[in-house]
Amino acid sequence: MPHAVRRSPAVFAARSVALAAALATLVVSGCGAEEAESNGPIVNPSKFDLTPTARVELARGVYKNNDPGAPFDPLVSEKESQCIADALLEKFDVEGLIEISVLSNTGVYRAAPMGIPEEQATLWVDSFEGCLDLKAYALGVARAGVREIAPEAGNDQPAWDKARDCLDTAAPQAARGVLQQSVTGKETKDAPTQAFVDCVKVAYPDATL
């Protein structure tokens, strides 16, 4: 699957040729296929409490996974990355994140999840939704992917502004549905997913399910 950003974004991906490139994450999708490198020290290597290490590693990993590189801005700010890290720890705890292969058994960030159960995917996306504008994030991941395969379309700001207007009037679960199915690995061609694709088509007509 083509990568949407330099270090596959945190979480999320769609399974069409166009949207796979556009949403290959996440996220949330590259879908976390590539492990993020840890450049910092282990904060607390104690096997009894890896939470401080995990908190630093999660924030760093989410940020790096969502950084398409210059000249483009990261899809997730440092503040949002820390918020997401805290939310993930609250919803999963360290052992839960190790279980879904997001963290190593020493608390180091590995990658965003892939192929996790629906219940866990819901918690994962909840963690993002509580810290950022989920519609803007999902559309940003799609745009990063489009820039890889069609730079002119990816850089057409007025067109992406129209795509956002479309998403604002689409089914409430449109962005969430695409992001969530990317971490479950289960393609769902439902109405919310189609609504998201239709909005991406406003800026990139070749997007398909």
Q: Quick: pLDDT tens for 23-56.
A: 543 434 433 334 455 555 555 554 568 999 999 9
Q: What is the pLDDT of residue 190?
A: 86
Number of domains in the chain: 1
Per the DSSP assignment, residues forming a β-bridge with 103 are 109
Pairwise CA distance, residues 126 & 108, whole Å: 22
Determine contact, residues 174/196, Cβ cutoff 8 Å: yes
Q: What is the pLDDT of residue 53?
A: 96
Mean pLDDT over 125-137 rounds to: 96
pLDDT digits (tens, 9 = 90+) for 172-189: 789 998 999 889 988 877
Determine contact, residues 10/111, Cβ cutoff 8 Å: no
Average pLDDT of the chain is 82
- Structural domain that includes position 166: 1-209
Burial grade of 63 (CB within 10 A; 0-12, 13-18, 19 or more): buried
Q: What is the pLDDT of residue 209?
A: 63
Per the DSSP assignment, residues forming a β-bridge with 11 are 27
Query: What global pTM score does this model have?
Result: 0.79
